[in-house]
Structure 1
Amino acid sequence: MKAALGYVLIACWASALLGGMWLYSRTQLSEFDPALQLNSAAAEPGFDERVVEALIAAGATPGSVIHFARRQNCFCETLTQPHRQQLLSALAGFSAITLDPDNIAFLSAFLSHTPAVAVIDRQRRLRYLGPYAQGYGCMTGRTFVEAIISSVTTRYNPAAVVNSNATGCFCQR
């Protein structure tokens, strides 16, 4: 009888612990583009060219991987470090730059969450704009690094890959 009661108490404790962890982890997830601002902007004609112009005016050069981060201390920024390293090693010869989207008027209107990345090829074309990954902590979910590399290294399509549909660890303004 005492053993059965012990097992029931352990099961209740484990259930409460797992439930608490699940509830806590749900608060760590946010949408990358919750108001669909980036999604809407990307549908406008000339969007890619305006993004490239704004990034070059902010200091990027053709052949750049631009990491977007805000000046705030946000743990999600540190989680992208492996993704950034993987991307830069795969895109040898591309320069790396970090920009705060709030300092770029055109981008601040629709890039509300970071960390994010943009890639401009050597012909001044936007190849990718969006998050590095999605999922809990941007580590256990799906990484977009291989898709980013593919979008940069394959034949250019008429428009960039703009990924606004992701849920993960993102910092908001």
Structure 2
Amino acid sequence: MKFKWLPVLLIIWTAGLLLAVLYAASNKAKYFDPQNVLHQSALSLSFDTVFVEALSQYNSELTGSVIHFQRSDCFCQTVAQSHINSVEKLAENHQFNNVTVTLDEPGILKSLVPSVPAVAVIDKFGKLNYFGPYSSGMFCTEGDGLVEPFIGKDQSAKTGATVISQSKGCYCNLNSA
């Protein structure tokens, strides 16, 4: 008789554990640009130029590059690593260079990048085409990718860059108070 309740207790325990994990995960999701600094900066007509000039301090040849922003102590970097790897492969397949920038030290670029992991695409003409998170969602998976459409041979930022600042997911905020 006592084993009749074992499957029921196991189902209740599993459901409770699943709810606890989902609750914890939902509390960990953060906004990519929590203080709207990037959002406000991107409204400026000169943002694209300022951003590329700040990037050129780290690497002088950015034409046709995908720039991967990271911080060494960011757990979300680990969570998103398979997606980051797939973006790097896609960039290589379209003859883009992959450049990694680690934002551990203060600087102009760190003030422009609100969170990591983040990515920027500089087209074949040296123009900023995309800047923002790799994806949205808690686990930053490939299916939720935001950057992939901007990596292509004939992609060009004709009307200015697409800057995604209003996204929620697993991000390490760099400028949080």
Fold similarity call, TM over 0.5: yes
TM-score w.r.t. length of structure 1: 0.82
Partner of 1:69: 70
What is the percent sequence identity of the aligned residues? 34
Query: Does the 8 Å CA contact 2:92/2:98 hold for their aligned counterparts?
Result: no
Partner of 2:97: 95
Amino acid aligned to 1:39: H
Matched, 1:33 2:50: no
Distance 2:111 2:99 in 1: 20
Q: CA deviation at 1:31?
A: 1.4
Identify if the C-alpha distance between structure 1 residues 39 and 21 changes in structure 2 by more than 3 Å, giving closer, same or farther: same
Distance 1:95 1:122 in 2: 10
TM-score w.r.t. length of structure 2: 0.81
RMSD: 2.5
Structure 1 residues without counterparts, runs of 5 or longer: none
Equivalenced residue count is: 170
Partner of 2:146: 144
Deviations 1:128-173 (A, max 9, x none): 11111121221275112432225x7335322101111222221223
Matched, 1:83 2:86: yes
SS in 1 for 2:73: coil
Deviations 1:17-63 (A, max 9, x none): 11111122223322111111111110012110111111112214222
Distance 1:166 1:155 in 2: 23
Q: CA deviation at 1:66?
A: 1.0
Distance 2:142 2:123 in 1: 29
Query: Does the 8 Å CA contact 1:87/1:145 hold for their aligned counterparts?
Result: no
Query: Does the 8 Å CA contact 2:128/2:157 hold for their aligned counterparts?
Result: no
Partner of 1:127: 129
